[in-house]
Amino acid sequence: MSQHSSSRAILITGASSGLGAEMARQFAAKGYDLALCARRTEKLDSLKAEILAADPNRRVELRALDVTDDDQVFEVFRAFKADFGTIDRIIINAGLGKGAPLGTGKYYANRETAMTNFVAALCQSEAAMEIFREQNAGHFVMISSMSAVRGMPKTLTTYAATKAGVAHLAEGLRAELYGKPIKVTVLYPGYIASEMNDRIDGKKNPMMASTEDGVKSMVSAIEREVGSASVPALPWAPLGVVMKHAPMPIFKKLI
């Protein structure tokens, strides 16, 4: 951790629960100040109280944000920038796990996931890069998913496509900004216990990491400012290669 982290501010979207809330806890414990936003402000309030109880010297600013409201995204990001003067890192984490097999009458669910996970992430990326370009500094972090490595079946089809989309958005930025002061990281989390995947029973799925452990590996990768990482690295880094290249009959068995 850098000596200056006590004055560094991290903006996290979708911070009211799951991976976002746990990242907030772990970054606060490392001495970072936080700009947290989500739709559910009562959950943000209790998260802030918990963080300040652990360390009264932390600064935690909160704002309500529905990421599908474009104007509100720009407004909230700019307001956080005004609060802190400098935003050192922005983590685009807000997402939705709804979905249904295509052609089964649930277009509304797939559309909602596409709008939240891709179009809203594009808007957050615009708002984040506006801040970083003005500062000529910053660390842009996109939370994708291991499902992005290859098209996925059934309820995951649209979700996986959106996660591939946001990964490519961030990779495009990384190519543009390579060697410049603005850093870009794309994370591909595997199964990590969170509100979004509470439908997956951890007992039945031995690859499910606890929220705390899963996020610890995310925070570590973010602090190292890696270009991209599968998290936790085991089993997901090797498994990702298999998922991507396995012939279809084997891929079908894997998933």
Query: 115-124: per-residue pLDDT in tens?
Result: 999 999 999 9
Q: Is 75 left (phi over 0), alpha (psi -120 to 50) or beta?
A: alpha
Give the pLDDT of residue 1: 33
* pLDDT tens per residue across span 164-221: 999 999 999 999 999 999 999 999 998 887 765 555 444 556 677 888 999 999 999 9
Give the pLDDT of residue 2: 37
What is the set of active-site residues?
159
Give the pLDDT of residue 219: 98
Give the pLDDT of residue 169: 98
**Total count of domains within the chain:** 1
pTM for this predicted structure: 0.93
Domain with 218 in it: 3-254
Amino acid in position 77: F
**Distance between CA atoms of 162 and 142, rounded to whole angstroms?**
12
Q: Strand 182-189 to strand 33-38: parallel, antiparallel, or no bridges (unpaired)?
A: unpaired
Angle at Cα 225 formed by Cα 178 and Cα 215, nearest 5°? Answer: 145
Nearest to 25, CA basis, from 8, 6, 38, 12? 12
Domain CATH number, residue 130: 3.40.50.720
On whether the CB atoms of residues 240 and 188 are closer than 8 A, the answer is: yes
Give the pLDDT of residue 204: 55
Give the pLDDT of residue 3: 37
Residues of the chain with pLDDT under 70: 1-7, 195-206
Give the pLDDT of residue 7: 65
